[in-house]
Structure formats: structure tokens, C-alpha cells
Amino acid sequence: MEQLSFPIGAELDQSRVDAAAAELTGRTRSQVQALIADGLVTVDGKPVQKNTRLKAGQELAISIPDPVELAAVPQDIPVDIVYEDESVIVVNKPKGMVVHPAPGNPDGTLVNALLWHCRGKLSSINGVIRPGIVHRIDRDTSGLLLVAKTDQAHLSLSEQIKAHSCDRVYQAVVYGRMKEPEGRVDAPIGRNPLERKEMCVTAKNSKEAVTNYRVLQEYEGFSHLELRLETGRTHQIRVHMAYLGHPVAGDPVYGPKKVIKSLEGQCLHAKSIAFDHPVTGERMRFDSELPAYFTDFLRTLRPL
């Protein structure tokens, strides 16, 4: 168990203990509140309530239990396999499916489905909770995903993504009309300091992020875009489009407060992928059709 201790200075005087602990540890307030409920947060050696107000000169102590990594288990869940051989799998993930188990989503994920489909034969590089997963797409993003069945394949595919030789092309519907018919967004992405579950364009504690876009069709109030990733940061397309002032339609996090609920998440699809086969070296390309939720939404829009 990790033991953390923080002297309370004037800047945190009268702060709520849950808010202060979240800021000091980089955890979410809900995570801190769970620690408080378990008696793992103390002030001057005494357990506190989440709304306790701190005073300058006090000592805040936080005990953080060691993480317990649960192994993903095989589950008989249908999965759309676009291509499969002894080394790799290309999957067409539906909107609403989580890629791998995580807090709040312990099962029912793509990994659970693939473990059943492959009888457990997936690469082990990412551990027992994310076997085979080379790259991820968000729960409410649909489309093509690469999965490695062997460690050799995993290393090769990961290196191709790092070297930008793995082509990943998305399509999205975003708010508004773009100023230019095509462009390049080169803006670093890091964790949002005000909301730990969100990402943002920032120069602090960030990583390079590059997205190329091209307008496919303009509509009243919206644009249909093709987007090519040079990097693969968390929420990259969603963050970059919001940064340009053109958030992805339906995005409940980076879009406007009045969300298009009929989309049930962002209108974003990983449409095609290309890579060198990790064993044969053959260049392989795969394309997927736009899903019904995407095309149905386009039909509601008026072309310009």
C-alpha cells in the first residue's frame, strides 16, 4: 500500500478534503471519496468526511491500496471478424462496445469476446487485462481495430504505429463548416488538469498529436470529414476537432451541452486501416462500410 503525506499550506486552507486530495494526487474526486469511505484518508491522524474543511498547518495523509489486476475471462459474445490468420485479427467493433475490461466495465468487452473466439491465443505483451490489444478506440467509436495473436506480431504492429507506417483513416460528422477543404492539426494533447477523465490541447505534460482532415461533404450546420491519424493519443480526433471549434456531432464530453442524443455517442468511425503483415511483410488494407447510425444521421442533414 502506497502512503502519501501532504502538509496543508495557505493555498488549500478551507478546501474540502476530497477536492484537495484529488488535486494533490491527480485522482478523480470519486476515487478519493471511495478512499475516504474506506477510512484511508486522514487529517492529523484522524479519519475525515469527504466535506471536511482543511486548515493550513494540518497534515493530510492518504493510503492508496496496491492495484489488483483482474484477468479478462473468455465470453461467448458475437464479434465481427474482418480478417484473421495465425498472427493478426482485424475486427470491426460496434459502437457501444468497450475494448478491454476496466473499472466500471469488468466484462462484456471486445477482449472477452476475442479470448473466446481465439481460445485464449492472444499476445501477452499488454498483460492479462488487455491481451492482444495493439491500439484502442473509444467505446462509442465504431470501426476497425488491429489485434495481435502473437507477441512477435504485437511488437511489429506497435512499431509500425509508432513509425506512422500503419495508416488509420476515420470518418466523422462535425459541427459547422471548415475554413479550409483540408488541413493538418498539430497540437499536443495531455490530461485536462480540471477534469482528470478528459484530455485537452495543452503544452503541459502533453505528447505530440497530429491529425489530418479532408472535407468530404458540407451540410447545413455540419461537415462530413475524412481524418488520418499520424499519432494515436487518447480521444485525439475528438479533442482536435473541439480545439478547432468543430466538435464531433454527438460527443457528450467535448461537444456542446445540448447533445444529439439519437447518435448515442460521437459520430466517429474507424473506416480503414493498412499495415505491413508482421510475418510476410505484405501490405494489407481493409475498409469498412459506414454503420447505420452514421448514414442515418447523414440522411437527416441538408447538403450545401
Model confidence at 150, in pLDDT bands (50, 70, 90)?
A: very high
Model confidence at 69, in pLDDT bands (50, 70, 90)?
A: low
Q: What are phi and psi of 69, to 5 degrees?
A: -90, 115
Model confidence at 30, in pLDDT bands (50, 70, 90)?
A: confident
Residue extents of the structural domains in the chain: 2-64, 69-163, 164-304
- 138 in active site: yes
Same fold, 2-64 and 164-304: no
Asked which of 64-68, 261-265, 294-298 is least confident by mean pLDDT, the reply is: 64-68
pLDDT (0 to 100) of residue 68 = 56
pLDDT (0 to 100) of residue 137 = 93
Task: Work out the angle at residue 93's Cα, subtended by the Cα atoms of residues 92 and 94, and round it to the nearest 5 degrees.
Answer: 120
The percent of residues above 90 in pLDDT, for the chain, comes to: 78
- Closest of 239, 172, 167, 183 to residue 207, by C-alpha: 239
Q: Which fold has domain 2-64?
A: 3.10.290
The catalytically annotated residue of 138, 151, 186, 296 is: 138
Q: Measured between alpha carbons, how far is 122 from 147 in angstroms, rounded to an integer?
A: 8
pLDDT (0 to 100) of residue 58 = 95
Task: Output the CATH code of domain 69-163.
Answer: 3.30.2350.10
Q: Measured between alpha carbons, how far is 283 from 71 in angstroms, rounded to an integer?
A: 34
Q: Which fold has domain 164-304?
A: Pseudouridine synthase (3.30.2350)
Packing angle, helices 17-25 and 29-37, rounded to 10: 120
Q: Is residue 62 classed as helix, strand or coil in its secondary structure?
A: strand
Average pLDDT over residues 93-103: 88
pLDDT digits (tens, 9 = 90+) for 242-267: 999 999 999 999 999 999 999 999 99
Average pLDDT over residues 179-184: 96
pLDDT (0 to 100) of residue 71 = 73
pLDDT digits (tens, 9 = 90+) for 157-167: 999 998 999 99
Model confidence at 218, in pLDDT bands (50, 70, 90)?
A: very high
pTM for the model: 0.77
pLDDT (0 to 100) of residue 27 = 79
Residues contacting 195, CB < 8 A, separation 6+: none
The single residue listed with the C-alpha cell 462484456 is 108
Q: Residue 125 above 90 pLDDT?
A: no
Q: What is the DSSP string of 237-253?
A: HHHHHHHTT-PBTT-TT
pLDDT (0 to 100) of residue 70 = 57
Q: How high does pLDDT run on average in the chain?
A: 92
Average pLDDT over residues 66-79: 78
Q: Measured between alpha carbons, how far is 291 from 266 in angstroms, rounded to an integer?
A: 13
